[in-house]
Amino acid sequence: MQTIEMSKRFEAPVEQVFEDLCDHEKFGRLTSAQIVRIRDASDSSHPNGLGSVRRIKVPGVPPIEETVIRFEPNRRMDYTVTKGGPITHHRGSLRFHGDADGTTVDYTISFEPKLPLPFLGAILEVIIKLPIKRGLDRLARSYTKQHVAATQEN
């Protein structure tokens, strides 16, 4: 089993960070991936919530579908791959911790490669982690710029 663990601090309220990371299309733009929500959650107030399904298209790989299996607004979102991809037993979990100064997100992804090839797990780990890490860094910088601009206006 491969496990990827990332933690990132954001200078923004938990509600804003949760919205930006748990909206499927926004997350796709953030990670430069083609992600489309193909099924809304049963709760109309959170279309990206429990039971929603997103399709991810990555060049050279058949489309992957992920289903949200746990959704607690401003606290947590878990998902699993339910169709496609070179991995099995995949689970992703985003946990949000807000305080007066901002938000910390702990992001954990676990999976196993479908094929038992040497080093395949390590290669897939890099392929999965890199765009997510870049996206989290980009989002953190955007909040910092917003915070600096607001501070300079006052």
Distances (CA, A) of 90 to 10, 109, 115, 143: 26, 7, 14, 30
Strand partners, 56: 35, 64
CATH code of the domain containing 119: 3.30.530.20
Round to whole Å and give the CA distance between 69 and 91: 9
Round to whole Å and give the CA distance between 129 and 117: 19
Quick check: helix, strand or coil at residue 101? coil
Name which of 7, 5, 18, 21 is nearest 110 in CA terms: 5
Q: Which helix (H) or strand (E) holds 58?
A: strand 53-58
The boundaries of the domain holding residue 29 are 2-153
Domain count, the chain: 1
Confidence (pLDDT) at 129:
94
Round to whole Å and give the CA distance between 149 and 144: 9
Rounded to the nearest integer, the mean pLDDT of the chain is 90
Q: Look up the pTM and report it.
A: 0.89
Q: Which helix (H) or strand (E) holds 26?
A: helix 24-31
Asked whether the predicted pLDDT for residue 150 surpasses 80, the reply is: no
Taking only the tens place, the pLDDT of each residue in 22-77 is 999 999 999 888 999 999 998 778 999 999 999 998 777 789 999 999 999 999 99
- Distance in angstroms between the alpha carbons of the first and the last residue of the chain: 50
Residues 6+ apart with CB under 8 A from 37: 24, 25, 47, 48, 52, 53, 54
